[in-house]
Amino acid sequence: KFVNCKLTGTKLMESYIGNTLFENCKMDYVNLSGSNIKESTFEHSVLSSADFVDCSLTKIMFSTNDLENASFFDTDLKNIDLSSNSFEMIEVRSEHLKNCTLNQLQALGFARKFLQIKVV
What is the domain-level CATH number for residue 65? Answer: 2.160.20.80
pLDDT in tens, 55-68: 999 999 999 999 99
pLDDT in tens, 7-57: 999 999 999 999 999 999 999 999 999 999 999 999 999 999 999 999 999
Residue 69: domain span: 1-120
Q: How confident is the model at residue 93 (pLDDT cuts 50, 70, 90)?
A: very high
Q: How far apart are CA 113 and CA 100, in angstroms?
A: 16
The pTM (predicted TM-score) of the whole model is: 0.92
**pLDDT at residue 112, as a whole number:** 87
Counting the structural domains of the chain, the total is 1
pLDDT above 70: percentage of residues in the chain: 100
Q: How far apart are CA 89 and CA 34, in angstroms?
A: 21
